[in-house]
A = this chain, B = another copy of it.
Amino acid sequence: MAKKILLCELNVSEGRDEAKIKRITEALTSTPSITIMDVDSDADHNRSVYTWIGEPEDVLAGAVNITRRAVEEIDMTQHHGSHPRQGAVDVVPFVPVRNVEKDEALEISRRYGKFLGGLGVPVYYYEEAATKPSRQNLVDIRKGQYEALAEKMRDEEWRPDEGPFAFVPKSGATVTGVRFPLVAYNVNLRTDDIGVAKEIAKRMRFSSGGLRYCRAIGLALEERKMVQVSMNLTNFEKTPIPVVYDLVKTLADSYGVGIADAELVGPLPLAALEEVVRHSLRVRGFNMSQIIETQLLD
């Protein structure tokens, strides 16, 4: 039986009170059969981000445990911080990593949403779990932040997907759903001409005619006296990393600019490398099950 891996990245609006953070964290660490990848508390943001993986049911249990504690501990009427936020438990994406179909992740996310609704917290589903197009993007749902919630809760447009259709001052509202693993891929160019990076980013990104699952911006790297095409790939199966590299290279060539190097930022599923081998080494039929270590994941 192939091992399933679901990832949860849970954002809570507390990054300063160490005693509270400790109690919230313990609710997660005491959950059996999950692997915690990262706990990142930021006092300036006044926010903590928890990332863990495991079998879907175990990952859901972790989310339920930490959420119950965070909803008790955190009072949004007292919250200030530099990061946009709307709820005590702010955003909870579930990300299928390995052998988890979208539908299974959606079911987990809905069960989590119903649990949270049952605690009396308004819940919005986003990304793959969105119930209407205006709720696909987190930025749209969180517009106006916590401070706008009292007003929005009087508007039928903002009726929650789960929980009370009412402003809940202590907890605010939570956004949860399913998104695909994001690949953050940055390519650094041997020029300090920011115009070149911006032009290439424009050609790369979906919104201005580029690749379907590519977001891109051009940035200056002041210290290195270079520029960067900074990209997020939202579906690495349909817009593979090596194809993105080749297109950036072709566009850079057309400006007479070379590629210095590149970065892959943050965690990646193993599957994101499958197309790298297929494309770059021309091994069309390559399958990750050839990798010895995957035997220990099955």
**Contact between A292 and B270, CB atoms less than 8 A apart:** yes
**With known contacts A187-B282, A262-B282, A293–B270 Cβ distance under 8 A:** yes
The contact string, 1 if C-beta is below 8 Å from chain B, for chain A 261-290, is 111101111100100110111111110001
Contact residue among B259, B281, B286 (Cβ-Cβ distance under 8 Å from A282)? B259
A232 / chain B contacts, CB cutoff of 8 Å? none
* Consensus secondary structure, chain A interface: mixed
**With known contacts A242-B280, A276-B276, A290–B261 Cβ distance under 8 A:** no
**Contact between B280 and A262, CB atoms less than 8 A apart:** no
Contact residue among B3, B270, B292 (Cβ-Cβ distance under 8 Å from A291)? B270
**Contact between A292 and B187, CB atoms less than 8 A apart:** no
A285-B261 Cα distance, complex, nearest whole Å: 9
A267-B292 Cα distance, complex, nearest whole Å: 6
> Does A106 belong to the interface (CB within 8 Å)?
no
Instruction: Closest B residue to A263 by CB, please name it.
Output: B283
**Contact between B187 and A53, CB atoms less than 8 A apart:** no
A53 / chain B contacts, CB cutoff of 8 Å? 292, 295-296
Contact residue among B97, B267, B279, B281 (Cβ-Cβ distance under 8 Å from A290)? B267
**Contact between B264 and A295, CB atoms less than 8 A apart:** no
The contact string, 1 if C-beta is below 8 Å from chain B, for chain A 153-191, is 000000000000000000000000000010001010000
A8 / chain B contacts, CB cutoff of 8 Å? none
> Does A98 belong to the interface (CB within 8 Å)?
yes
> Most chain-B Cβ atoms within 10 A of its Cβ — which of A181, A281, A295?
A281
A279 / chain B contacts, CB cutoff of 8 Å? 280
A280 / chain B contacts, CB cutoff of 8 Å? 242, 245, 276, 279-281
Interface residues of A in 43-102 (CB under 8 A from B): 53, 97-98
Interface residues of A in 224-274 (CB under 8 A from B): 241-242, 245, 259-264, 266-270, 273
> Does A297 belong to the interface (CB within 8 Å)?
yes
> Does A37 belong to the interface (CB within 8 Å)?
yes
**With known contacts A5-B292, A53-B292, A262–B241 Cβ distance under 8 A:** no
Contact residue among B97, B242, B273, B284 (Cβ-Cβ distance under 8 Å from A261)? B284
> Most chain-B Cβ atoms within 10 A of its Cβ — which of A241, A259, A276?
A276
Q: A residues near B, CB below 8 A? A: 3, 5, 7, 35, 37, 53, 97-98, 181, 185, 187, 241-242, 245, 259-264, 266-270, 273, 276-277, 279-286, 290-297
Given contacts A5-B293, A268-B290, 14 further A-B contacts (CB under 8 A): A3-B296, A35-B296, A53-B295, A185-B281, A259-B282, A262-B281, A262-B283, A264-B283, A264-B286, A273-B273, A273-B277, A276-B277, A293-B293, A293-B294
Identify 8 residue pairs between A and B in the complex whose beta-carbon atoms are under 8 Å apart, listed by A's number: A3-B296, A53-B295, A242-B280, A264-B283, A264-B290, A269-B292, A270-B292, A276-B276
